[in-house]
Structure 1
Amino acid sequence: MRGFPGMIGSIDCMHWAWKNCPSAWQCAYGDRKGAKSIILEAVASFDTWIWHAFLRVMRAQNDLNFFAKSPVFNNVLQGKAPKVTYCINGRMYDGPYFLVDGIYPRWSTFVKTVPYPRSAKEKHFASCQDGCRKDVEHCFGILQARWAIVKGVARLFNVESLRSIMMMCIILHNMIVEDEYDYDVVDEYEPDTMNNSRTRIYCAHDAIEEPVQHEPLESDGRYNELISQRYTALQKPYMHNARQIDLI
């Protein structure tokens, strides 16, 4: 739907300022400027539906430190993620990816923008990537506009209470999106001369015609080896560069 085949959403982090952070945790929840905040990591799709939310990690002063402890790829590492194949520029790829900003690493599961685009195609790709990546930022803005307790600073002392408040707001947000979004409306696109193929990545009310296939269970030794292989496969910068070039 966004013109990126195989893309399942955008991932980013939101900082929730914590006014009453306990003194013992001042360093753990503070950034390099001394501001105290709790970080929320979320994955959102084109309709601002939140598919993944992770909150409360100590000693995570920025998005990159927070991502290092995030469970967003647990299903992929355990072999429980659905198998996805798609074609870009005549080349077949397997494994979905997220649209991210510049702080994230150049992994095979991410697609970043071109920092200094020169050609017309690179500028067009950078414009599309920046626009679609803001789906998750748009989602954060809706959360803060809809729930005043999230827009303001956190005033409680208990981290679990703050986590429950944030998750409750996310659940209510998803309920509103599912109730109000019109998935049957005909989507109209501007003519795109560089990429004529469009891929619909999500529809909440579509029936699944074929069962989702997962990898078979393995023994403990083989299972740990597969996890190591999958984790190494996630960190392939050349796959990131090849997919980015094909998208351009």
Structure 2
Amino acid sequence: MDSDSDDELVLHTLLFPAQDMIHARGESSHREKKHRKWINRDREAAHELLVHDYFASDSLYNLSKFEESFQLYRDTYLRHPTKSDVEQLYVAHQVKHGFSGMLGSIDYTHWEWANCPNVWRGQFMQGDHGVPTVILEAVVSQYLWFWHAFFGMVGSSNDLNVLQASPLFNNILQGKAPDMSYVLNGNEYKYEYYLADGIYLEHATFVKSYSFSTDEKRKLFKLAQESARKDMEQAYGALNKSDI
């Protein structure tokens, strides 16, 4: 056998296994493409499966456990105050601030609405705020307890606009409020009251500070009222820090 034939034989011997491998890979790739299993895009079926897994009796997210936890939270915090709650507030405010019959301080604050649509920006902006805001009205007692919260008024509103739309006095007007009258210095008062700033109306349910203190009694009252209203500042400060 000549040298050229020997060289061809060696080359053929080396290339033959490689050709078989390439051929096999080609067939394998073809089969994979031909028989590929696509992801099921049936969203309705996927939703039913998720709901079934979520609420299954052996699921970590057991619905009954969730309902029990929420029921406990709602009964403890998300509820209308009882007569016992009000009586405890009377005592606490009397001890801490020296005010009898006081439920808390009322005020409102602005929350920035970063994603406010441009078409609504005008009605959600106020002169002293350079951004659109939504208003939260609240009555706060000591220890960050929110007696009342009303959220959603447009930022261009003021205290009186918010108060007019607020459900704060609905229970009183509808005769559903518990009788929480109290006696102070021999005088009986039918309704409890809130500490407020000067813009609020002259109602029996609002106690405002004196604009000008002309004697020692009024000066002392002014200091006590403004000190008690710091409960409101503390509560709003806590909300702002929590980024709610």
The answer to whether the superposition gives a TM-score over 0.5 is: yes
CA distance in 2, matches of 1:70, 1:92: 27
**1:87-142 Cα deviation digits (max 9, x unpaired):** 22321111111001112111111000010001000000000001111211211111
1:31–1:62 CA contact under 8 A, matched in 2: no
* Selected match of 2:114 from 5, 19, 39: 19
Shift of 1:80: 0.7
Shift of 1:63: 2.2
1:57 is paired with a residue whose SS is strand
Q: Where does the alignment leave 5 or more consecutive residues of structure 2 unmatched?
A: 1-92
CA distance in 2, matches of 1:25, 1:110: 33
Aligned-CA RMSD value? 1.5
What's 1:192 paired with?
Answer: none
Task: Mark the CA change 1:123 to 1:53 in structure 2 (over 3 Å): closer, same or farther.
Answer: same
2:133–2:155 CA contact under 8 A, matched in 1: no
What's 1:138 paired with?
Answer: 234
2:144 is paired with a residue whose SS is coil
**1:16-47 Cα deviation digits (max 9, x unpaired):** 11222111211221113453111111111122
Q: Does 1:96 align with 2:192?
A: yes
2:123–2:156 CA contact under 8 A, matched in 1: yes
CA distance in 2, matches of 1:50, 1:110: 17
What's 1:114 paired with?
Answer: 210
What's 1:67 paired with?
Answer: 163
Q: Does 1:28 align with 2:123?
A: yes
Task: Mark the CA change 1:19 to 1:39 in structure 2 (over 3 Å): closer, same or farther.
Answer: same
CA distance in 2, matches of 1:111, 1:60: 25
2:133–2:154 CA contact under 8 A, matched in 1: no
Q: Does 1:85 align with 2:181?
A: yes
Letter in 2 for 1:67: L
What's 2:140 paired with?
Answer: 44
Equivalent residue runs for 1:193-232 within 5 Å: none
Q: Does 1:8 align with 2:103?
A: yes
What percentage of aligned pairs have identical amino acids? 45
Letter in 2 for 1:5: S
2:110–2:155 CA contact under 8 A, matched in 1: no
1:42–1:54 CA contact under 8 A, matched in 2: yes
CA distance in 2, matches of 1:120, 1:83: 34
Shift of 1:60: 4.6
Q: Where does the alignment leave 5 or more consecutive residues of structure 1 unmatched?
A: 151-248
CA distance in 2, matches of 1:79, 1:60: 32
1:60–1:66 CA contact under 8 A, matched in 2: no
1:86–1:93 CA contact under 8 A, matched in 2: yes
**1:29-72 Cα deviation digits (max 9, x unpaired):** 11134531111111111221112111112475222221111111
**1:158-193 Cα deviation digits (max 9, x unpaired):** xxxxxxxxxxxxxxxxxxxxxxxxxxxxxxxxxxxx
2:153 is paired with a residue whose SS is coil
CA distance in 2, matches of 1:127, 1:27: 38
CA distance in 1, matches of 2:163, 2:118: 25
- Of Structure 1 and Structure 2, the greater helix share is in 2
